Homo-oligomer: A and B are copies of this chain.
Amino acid sequence: MKKLINSPDAVIPDALRGLAAAHPGLNVDVENRIISRAERTPGKVGLVSGGGSGHEPLHGGYVGRGMLDAAAPGEVYTSPVPDQILAATEAADAGAGVLHIVKNYTGDVLNFRMAAELAEDDDVRVVSVVINDDVAVEDSTFTAGRRGVGGTIVAEKVAGAAAEEGADLDTVAQLAREVNERSRSFAIALHAGTVPAAGKPGFELAGNEVEIGVGIHGEPGRQRGEFAPVKDLVGYALDAIHADLPVSGDVLVIMNGQGGTPLIELYGAFAEAADWLQGHGATVARNLVGNYITSLDQAGFSITVTSLTDELVRLWDAPVSTPALRWGV
């Protein structure tokens, strides 16, 4: 394994040091692993998210005006711990309560739940919204439910914009829930990423294989499939999304890279997605193409489709200034 690291143990503190050096507008507590905005707006609802590291720019890259107030990154692919989430919650609290945006993984849900209890002990009101947009996982009593993936970014952006406008905690939480209900994602990988401490890829694929329905933690997908032209892979992903929540009207599309796929391929994949959606009567009204929620150096894509309303478009378009998303300011 060759990586641009000092040692597997140092990956996260080193990345946080870099984030701090690159973005002087953020408070980065390297030791306690909390990234927060330097200024609090009194009376604004605070937004906190977090999860395992290895998904950069998620989550630290979405801290800033118009999105998160604080983020708590855990070890690579491991949810953060309650004390850390509590500290992020306290950093985000400006008197109007705090929204926890939690991706649906047992570890994230449990650790955030413990943190929320601790915060309530400190008289900080916390509402949690659990994101579970990945249609690769059946949502049934036979699973831990769907995973949270790309929809998280949309929820953070939309809820963050509403909080910036002065909406109250319940309204902000309701918007995050609405985004989650309107968002679906699906991912396919060509090569697994390598966790630095493990030193080898999470799964091994043959030259003609792809991993279908993967998550963002290098976990194997629901099945292995045959490598195919990008048009077919994107079509497969969109079929799965469409079967779950039929696409129509204006949609936001995130054509997301998993960390090791270059932009030239993602644009090609996006071309296929735009064609497919047009063929199914939907219009790509907003989009992101690039690396927004990754799995270290994994190669592949995920696609997130959010069915838009005028209000969601307005909040999506609202100014944002974070390391990873910036416009209007």
Contacts and interface: CB of A to CB of B under 8 A. Distances in A.
A54 interface: yes
A4 interface: yes
A118 interface: no
B4 A266 contact: yes
A3 B267 contact: no
Given A14-B230, A261-B297, A21 B210 contact: no
A43 interface: no
Given A267-B14, A328-B329, A296 B5 contact: no
Q: Main SS of chain A's interface residues?
A: mixed
B263 A61 contact: yes
A56 B328 contact: no
B4 A269 contact: yes
A146 interface: no
Given A268-B15, A269-B18, A294 B229 contact: no
Copies of this protein, total: 2
B4 A301 contact: yes
Give the one of A267, A269, A272, A323 with max B CB within 10 A. Answer: A267
Interface stretch (A103-111, A175-183, A284-292): A284-292
A53 interface: yes
Interface string A195-214: 00000000001011010000
Contacts of A259: 262-263
A138 to B, nearest CB: 26
User: Interface residues of A toward B: which range?
Assistant: 35 or more
A142 interface: no
A220 interface: no
Contacts of A301: 4
A193 B260 CA distance: 11
A3 B229 contact: no
Interface in A286-323: 287, 289, 291, 294, 296-297, 299-301, 321, 323
Contacts of A272: 6, 14, 18
A41 interface: no
Interface in A218-277: 227, 229-231, 233, 255, 259-272, 274
Contacts of A19: 267
Contact of A4 (B7, B10, B54, B261): B261
Given A5-B265, A21-B270, 10 more contacts: A2-B190, A3-B190, A7-B229, A14-B272, A18-B270, A22-B274, A56-B264, A193-B262, A260-B299, A264-B296
5 contacts: A6-B230, A18-B269, A21-B274, A262-B296, A326-B327
In the A-B complex, the 5 residue pairs with the smallest Cβ-Cβ separation, listed nearest first, are: A18-B267, A18-B271, A14-B268, A17-B271, A21-B274
Interface of A: 2-7, 10-12, 14-22, 53-54, 56-57, 61, 190-191, 193, 205, 207-208, 210, 227, 229-231, 233, 255, 259-272, 274, 284, 287, 289, 291, 294, 296-297, 299-301, 321, 323, 326-329
